[in-house]
Structure 1
């Protein structure tokens, strides 16, 4: 096996052969032993010890300074400059005479390259003498300053003359690679010691291009073509390029890595700019690839207006949109409109849309006003066709590439297509090598832009593919793959992925707008699914409604897919606060499912579960629990206990039980839901966040604040990660944390969370939405607690106005706003107005038959009547409230304790201390039995009972209760909470009374 020559040997032999010296002649003239010459020439030598021998041969070969340094470097020796500095002997110094002037001149070259502008683009200037640049600058060149400065930075590279930098400028045909290269050499060429342009489009002609650079007027390495053979001319030019001189070489239109490897200088100071349609290059090249994109829209507009000044900015913008900001197409369109000046921009755009765009005369360069400064083909279709024809459709990989290209053309142009989605459309998995190889082939041809997670196809490439590739199955397979992909990613609630799918769904729907068939119904349905997942329910509603119409036409009224669409539309109505419409659609879906599947079926159970949620939203917790329990039983029977649907019912059941105050019963289903979600959907999923949120609510109600806070935080973190920081679900988590911070007395934090929630809800839904009103109302309640009644009133009135306009004046949520505003008016001392609002809220409760909520409003009304000194009316309200709460929630519910506490304080006010004590003790007993021992509600009861003891002058007993209450409030609410301050003041009063008593004794 032959051993390849060393780099030094290969370079030495090339230099010797270029001068036509035999080994013997060279040994004789240089006084270097023939054996040494032979070893060097045969490539047997790795390093050279005697640098003098090497310089002696370099003198005879008449090597330039750069060539000599190349030999020294590959032989493991110092450069000429370093050797010259070390030499003291006059005889040795004589060896350097041939290069002394070059060494001196080199510092000037170094300084010139050091002065290359890096932060601004210099003006066009004359290139260095001896340069070979076949193209003039384009007077309409725009929008690429960032690229030009990037290249300047790369080629500067600290101006080290023996470390020539290389850059590949890659992009699809027509994106302006050659134009940028021309602009660069016309603006920056003067900072190099020569610029040499080579066209690599014809591999067979490259040698002549290289040789021409050495002829008269350029490097002048020979006098005429007849002096040397082509090979000798090429060698001389290559030798010159390997000198440490900062020249700039342009390898234009080079797509073959082997050609780059063949012609790239092995060493020396040349900078090399390669333009190519190929995006992927061998890693062994270690050459950075700058991927060139289309023009920014502002640059596109400038280019069009520069060519056709009559165009207004909006007209140029519309044309740029139609042409996808591709520079070649824009150049052609602008020059076309300049020539045909009576063609309006609107007519031109219509012509592009109404015909095969590639066939339009403007994009074929068929007008006299267009002249190419780079002498490239001015036909956009032919530009792409040259690349496409390089596919060998007899080859399996290239055949697959063609199939992938036409399917990519069916997606939204210019938008990212996920790899798994694209390859699924040709029945391949992303991991399969043949699919990846085919995509790589398209990237190499400049027909497809490849990114880390997907690919993009320019809109004109897509039009080209649809014009030249005949595949009648492409559109349908893309639609099927798109539907399947959306269905899969929707299960994970991945908002970012769903957002990417929206534009593709909208595109295929737009293209098939007139089709009335099942595929279109499914596309409209999944478009609605995407919109719903990202929280855009307002847009999801018409999408689902259109899908429903198509399902009813194609499948009929009693089809499973019709029922599924009804359910999804109902969910959207529910999310938007239109509970009546939600209930109607769920009931219609339930009727279809019962007819098709029967009552005991998972599909039917899902609708029952959702109907329970609607009943809960309407304030009917009893019906909600009943429907939820039935759904849960069916799920456990049909799907098993470890299933996400089962977890959802358990989660809902826990929430409904919490709303009824049955905290003890709510513990188990909420725990089970979280455990099942952990096993089925995983710890980071929107459903898990909902379950954690409900569990946090339970913990808050029972007074376990530390655990509640951790759960709220976990839920928020999941929603921000999966659904994004601007999703309504994330806003709901902010709202929940705001309510929690309000309860625990951290008013500033509460204010922050409420504002975040309002900001997101307003941005997502608009101001007139129930969710926005809920957070605004909560903010009003917070301001009421902070005694900022003026602002509180403004926000409460705003929330009420929104709910009345959106939900109607008789909606339960309107009653909540009435109650909120009434409490604020009560704080302002406007008792008559507060009384009227409470009474309006009670009327709404009577209509909805929600006794537990009605009892709360009765309690509040009683408090207002008490403040108005209408004690008999207040007593009736309190007693009615307690009676209703006991009947609906049971004798030992925390809300019963709330009513009893108010009633006891009234009896105390009336002077009936015996009954007051009995009632207040009962309230305390219920609270101690139902919530955690450190719950603030227990502190409230302790303080109320202590107040009675103080009235009856039982100060020692009062002190014990107040100290216990203060300990709870300081621990749970903090020392700065208003309730804590009230208890402190009450304790001070009690202690003062005790001191007075002791003094009297």
Structure 2
């Protein structure tokens, strides 16, 4: 049932009646009356003369008032006084009787119908002139429209469905009223259609045969009649029924069901008893009824006039219909209240909360904002709203809930708040008993009272108003769930809301609520954590900002850990730096600090405060009750903190058992699962505590071995095609490899090092990849030996990393070692000693030729050899030769490998296409651009078909083909293809991938060749800066960028700047690539050109000669770069001679003509 108001401020609805008969009818429809003998239970304000009756009608607390007199003045005075006593009123119904206009413009109005006033006209307020009366009709004189609250209600009633519902409910409550009138059952009975008489408006109510009175002289509307006739009935006066107006509604039905009419009501201080005046005013003002009090209340309070039609406001009116009309008005009033929505400000709720407001509370605004949207009962008017705040123990769930309820108290003062701790059954029972006492529930204090049922029943009544219940620490499933569990005694009301806090997610599931109603609480943000720490310490204890932030990071921004740490530091007068040093010194010190208890007024005394103590107890509990969950917990603690894939957890016990074990860990909030992801997170401090627990028990090493084995089983060797898979495992592989003292030192570990290394290689983290490959190589050599395919594979991949680091010489040396190892493996028992890659090609080709008899013996001897791996080693070795500038030899090797791969793997195998690309690349570097272009086009077409348009290898073919277009002077095509490649590389590889930057550099090169030097300069500067940051200043690709920028500056006639950059580039290339590398020679050539532009012909000629001599030796006489250098040297010699200088060599000798 509805909670009884505590004061007059809790009332929002009032009903005012002008006549006792109206008052009596309304009183019968109260569902509950407060006060002895129906008297006034709440008193009145000083100076208020009104007498009130209070009680409940439906879901509303209602105050009822009876006017001392009829009329506007009495009504206005009573309304003014009521406003002082009941300040929260938002709906005042003036209920009673009225005179009806026979027609409302659309339908007939008959006696017993109900009129609801949408506005009120003071028809007798105006000026009386000799010949007429003029009503005051200015804006100041007219009564205003009803307030928005009432207008919205009237809008509903004006709809067909709203009107129908209102009429049905009015009829229902009328019947209820008639049945309730026990003392006088006939009083509110429908008088009958025969008693409903409407005479023509001009037909006078007077004596028909009475020579003794003045009625006989009455022949017109202005003629008087006698006093006796005025008070007599139509039957007594024998009014002629031939003058009755035929009413269609009365002929269609024998009984009477009230019809509700909404329109304008005329209000005045006179009783309207003239049919002709009635019709005249109705026509002029559009009114449908006449009454006497509405104008007095209308502007004092938000008023709705609800009147039952008891007569037709003519001279034939009588009192026979008044009681029935009063009853229909009262019934309609109750029907209106059934559809009226109580506002949220009308009542002041109870506030029973175990703790005071936490003055040290900081942050959590995002979560609180979400709670303030969900938790107030008004958030869901169709259900009893349920919300869960869940998270790891110590994350601050209770404190968030506590802050939320204080905010709700301030924002929703009408909402009661009840705090119910569920630490144990006794705490729940005590909280419920306290609630029962506050609500004044009957029998709540009796010894044998069923407290839980009584409170549940009381709060389930919507009349209890708006309420929020906080069920805190709902962690114990056995205590809460089941038919006799505490959750079975929670109330349900559409005006109610329940907020749970729990560390046990299984409780959230048992509550059967949508996922969006479960709010997970993680650790605090950095600024929030800093604010919380500042609440417990003095500023001088936090003076070292860096140490303070490191400490918070160490504590993982866990509120309980921060409170615990600040309490210890405050007690010992210790700085954050000193405390951090203690935490980082040894694990045991850290665990000891996390195990110390402290005083906290905002936590329950029954619950232990130390973070580690709570967790260690939980660890042991899980170990005893769910061994698979314990194994999972141990395994996950070896992984990285975030996104541990479910696939890493072994399911040897079956899928169901695995899911149950995961559910146990999630229920304790030791792990959390990402929405839409099949992975888990573990809190940092839980992870540290778990690792410490394993070490203390001597179980860390086997656990690390298990984790490494699982990772090695699940993590594939990284390639672009499976990037989504290995990226998921990479952080966990890195984490599992961080235990050198507890590592298994086996093949699993070596292979995992290699997998992690190749992952970083693909991600362009070359230095870290090299370090990991060296770790893998050392371990694999110890486990398997040097002459083993697994060891060789690691060496090959390490050499590839060295190439990408630009360390070509070291890479070549490692490939030489690889060839020697293959030489030993293939030469074992073979008559031919194979000493190089060229020699390897012949026996391999024989292996592939199925019809070669000689191959049979060799194939038998070579059983077990990984030919694909061997070919990859050969391919990479050839690439190294190309990077070192030995293009001819590299071309020869790549052509041999291409043929071998075609025969062994097929012409469309990705490795075969790589060889085709490599051949084209060596052709391009030799200046054979047309041949290179044709082969690159074949490579691109095949790669698009086999690998797809956005595969990195396909994009490499596009990039190289664009470079060839530029060399062939097809600049626009080159630029367009570079732009397409760039767009795809950005999408596939990312903005900062070296290949993406190469595409940007390619665009700059195309712009340079098109003569757009300023644009080219800007882009080259950007790419140079990015390459220096990502690859380093001495990486070969960075040096290419530096060289290209210098060339652009030279074309812009900024020769001095160009000279400086060329010299810098030359010095670095000589050191990194060697003095005779083709790229070094290109740099020498361009520097010579800049010197010539500067008029320093002697220096230029000398530089050209040195460059030409080395190019002829390295590239050959026919290479385009050699030819270009020879031509430019000749030009320089001519220019020098023009200036009077002498050259050491004649031009004819230069071109071999003398």
- Once the two structures are superposed, residues 729-774 of structure 1 have per-residue CA deviations (whole angstroms, 9 ceiling, x without a partner) of 2111211222123223454553454344223312212334322221
**1:490 maps to which of 686, 708, 719:** 719
- Tell me how far 1:651 sits from its aligned partner: 0.9
* Mean CA deviation greater in 711-720 or 324-333: 711-720
The answer to whether the aligner puts 1:412 opposite 2:634 as a matched pair is no
Match of 1:459 in 2: 684
The 2-side partners of 1:861 and 1:58 are apart by: 120
Give the alignment of 1:221-236 within 5 angstroms.
221-222=441-442, 224-226=444-446, 229-230=450-451, 233-236=454-457
- What is the aligned-residue RMSD (CA, Å)? 4.6
Match of 2:210 in 1: none
Greater relative contact order (Cα < 8 A, sep 6+):
2
**1:332 maps to which of 561, 564, 570:** 564
**2:460 maps to which of 239, 242, 248:** 239
- Tell me how far 1:211 sits from its aligned partner: 4.8
Match of 1:970 in 2: none
- Tell me how far 1:786 sits from its aligned partner: 3.7
Match of 2:669 in 1: 446
- Tell me how far 1:268 sits from its aligned partner: 3.1
**2:1010 maps to which of 718, 721, 744:** 744
The 2-side partners of 1:229 and 1:244 are apart by: 19
Q: Decide whether aligned partners of structure 1 residues 745 and 351 sit closer, same or farther in structure 2, where only a CA change above 3 A counts.
A: closer
Match of 1:354 in 2: 586
- Tell me how far 1:587 sits from its aligned partner: 1.0
Q: Decide whether aligned partners of structure 1 residues 746 and 547 sit closer, same or farther in structure 2, where only a CA change above 3 A counts.
A: same
The 2-side partners of 1:248 and 1:383 are apart by: 30
Q: Decide whether aligned partners of structure 1 residues 189 and 638 sit closer, same or farther in structure 2, where only a CA change above 3 A counts.
A: same
The answer to whether the aligner puts 1:572 opposite 2:838 as a matched pair is no
- Once the two structures are superposed, residues 92-148 of structure 1 have per-residue CA deviations (whole angstroms, 9 ceiling, x without a partner) of 5546999999999954617x9xxxxxxxxxxxxxxx773111123334333323322
- Tell me how far 1:574 sits from its aligned partner: 1.6
- Tell me how far 1:687 sits from its aligned partner: 2.0
Match of 2:529 in 1: 300
Give the alignment of 1:698-737 within 5 angstroms.
698-703=964-969, 708-737=974-1003
SS in 2 for 1:140: coil
Match of 1:273 in 2: 499
Q: Decide whether aligned partners of structure 1 residues 265 and 712 sit closer, same or farther in structure 2, where only a CA change above 3 A counts.
A: farther
The 2-side partners of 1:323 and 1:709 are apart by: 53
SS in 2 for 1:226: coil
**2:418 maps to which of 196, 209, 213:** 196
SS in 2 for 1:409: helix
Match of 1:538 in 2: 767
The 1-side partners of 2:179 and 2:926 are apart by: 104
Corresponding pairs, count: 793
- Once the two structures are superposed, residues 877-921 of structure 1 have per-residue CA deviations (whole angstroms, 9 ceiling, x without a partner) of 9878878xxxxxxxxxxxxxxxxxxx9xxxxxxxxxxxxxxxxxx
The 2-side partners of 1:286 and 1:579 are apart by: 56
Match of 1:182 in 2: 402
- Once the two structures are superposed, residues 334-392 of structure 1 have per-residue CA deviations (whole angstroms, 9 ceiling, x without a partner) of 2223334469855765566634578x3332234x5566535443132454467667869
The 2-side partners of 1:60 and 1:381 are apart by: 70
The 1-side partners of 2:763 and 2:573 are apart by: 46
Match of 1:640 in 2: 906
The 1-side partners of 2:959 and 2:912 are apart by: 17
- Once the two structures are superposed, residues 808-851 of structure 1 have per-residue CA deviations (whole angstroms, 9 ceiling, x without a partner) of 66654333333333333433444344334434544654674665
The 2-side partners of 1:638 and 1:346 are apart by: 66
The 2-side partners of 1:846 and 1:686 are apart by: 36
The 1-side partners of 2:634 and 2:1150 are apart by: 71
Q: Decide whether aligned partners of structure 1 residues 386 and 862 sit closer, same or farther in structure 2, where only a CA change above 3 A counts.
A: same
Q: Decide whether aligned partners of structure 1 residues 229 and 537 sit closer, same or farther in structure 2, where only a CA change above 3 A counts.
A: closer
Q: Decide whether aligned partners of structure 1 residues 510 and 201 sit closer, same or farther in structure 2, where only a CA change above 3 A counts.
A: same
The 1-side partners of 2:824 and 2:1098 are apart by: 55
The 1-side partners of 2:826 and 2:653 are apart by: 35
The 1-side partners of 2:588 and 2:435 are apart by: 44
The 2-side partners of 1:386 and 1:514 are apart by: 25
The 2-side partners of 1:700 and 1:59 are apart by: 101
Match of 1:758 in 2: 1024
SS in 1 for 2:738: helix
The 1-side partners of 2:177 and 2:428 are apart by: 29
**1:364 maps to which of 595, 614, 620:** 595
Confirm or deny: 8 A CA contact 1:631 1:649 kept in the other structure: yes
SS in 2 for 1:290: strand
The 2-side partners of 1:58 and 1:269 are apart by: 28
Match of 1:867 in 2: 1135
Match of 1:137 in 2: 357
- Tell me how far 1:458 sits from its aligned partner: 1.1
The 2-side partners of 1:485 and 1:681 are apart by: 25
The 1-side partners of 2:472 and 2:879 are apart by: 66
The 2-side partners of 1:357 and 1:651 are apart by: 60
Give the alignment of 1:908-919 within 5 angstroms.
none
- Once the two structures are superposed, residues 470-499 of structure 1 have per-residue CA deviations (whole angstroms, 9 ceiling, x without a partner) of 6975432322343455544434373x8766
Confirm or deny: 8 A CA contact 2:769 2:801 kept in the other structure: yes
Give the alignment of 1:834-849 within 5 angstroms.
834-842=1100-1108, 845=1111, 848=1114
SS in 2 for 1:213: helix
The 2-side partners of 1:850 and 1:86 are apart by: 110
- Tell me how far 1:191 sits from its aligned partner: 2.0
TM-score (norm 1): 0.69
Q: Decide whether aligned partners of structure 1 residues 369 and 805 sit closer, same or farther in structure 2, where only a CA change above 3 A counts.
A: farther
Q: Decide whether aligned partners of structure 1 residues 618 and 229 sit closer, same or farther in structure 2, where only a CA change above 3 A counts.
A: closer
- Tell me how far 1:292 sits from its aligned partner: 1.6
The 1-side partners of 2:500 and 2:761 are apart by: 47
Confirm or deny: 8 A CA contact 2:718 2:755 kept in the other structure: no
- Tell me how far 1:670 sits from its aligned partner: 3.0
The 2-side partners of 1:654 and 1:773 are apart by: 23
SS in 2 for 1:196: strand
Give the alignment of 1:7-22 within 5 angstroms.
none
The 1-side partners of 2:369 and 2:360 are apart by: 19
The 2-side partners of 1:580 and 1:668 are apart by: 31
Q: Decide whether aligned partners of structure 1 residues 782 and 289 sit closer, same or farther in structure 2, where only a CA change above 3 A counts.
A: farther
Q: Decide whether aligned partners of structure 1 residues 747 and 252 sit closer, same or farther in structure 2, where only a CA change above 3 A counts.
A: farther
Match of 1:91 in 2: 327
Confirm or deny: 8 A CA contact 2:460 2:492 kept in the other structure: no
Match of 2:608 in 1: 377
Match of 1:316 in 2: 548
Give the alignment of 1:831-910 within 5 angstroms.
831-842=1097-1108, 845=1111, 848=1114, 851=1117, 852=1119, 853-869=1121-1137
Match of 1:560 in 2: 789
Confirm or deny: 8 A CA contact 2:379 2:385 kept in the other structure: no
The 1-side partners of 2:305 and 2:1091 are apart by: 96
Match of 2:137 in 1: none
The 2-side partners of 1:533 and 1:639 are apart by: 24
Confirm or deny: 8 A CA contact 1:615 1:624 kept in the other structure: yes
The 1-side partners of 2:372 and 2:395 are apart by: 20
The 2-side partners of 1:54 and 1:879 are apart by: 125
The 2-side partners of 1:505 and 1:789 are apart by: 52
Q: Decide whether aligned partners of structure 1 residues 85 and 488 sit closer, same or farther in structure 2, where only a CA change above 3 A counts.
A: farther
SS in 2 for 1:492: coil
- Tell me how far 1:725 sits from its aligned partner: 0.9
The 2-side partners of 1:169 and 1:53 are apart by: 45
- Once the two structures are superposed, residues 864-885 of structure 1 have per-residue CA deviations (whole angstroms, 9 ceiling, x without a partner) of 33333469999979878878xx
TM-score (norm 2): 0.61
- Once the two structures are superposed, residues 24-77 of structure 1 have per-residue CA deviations (whole angstroms, 9 ceiling, x without a partner) of xxxxx999xxxxxxxxxxxxxxx995466479989999xxxxxxxxxxxxxxxx
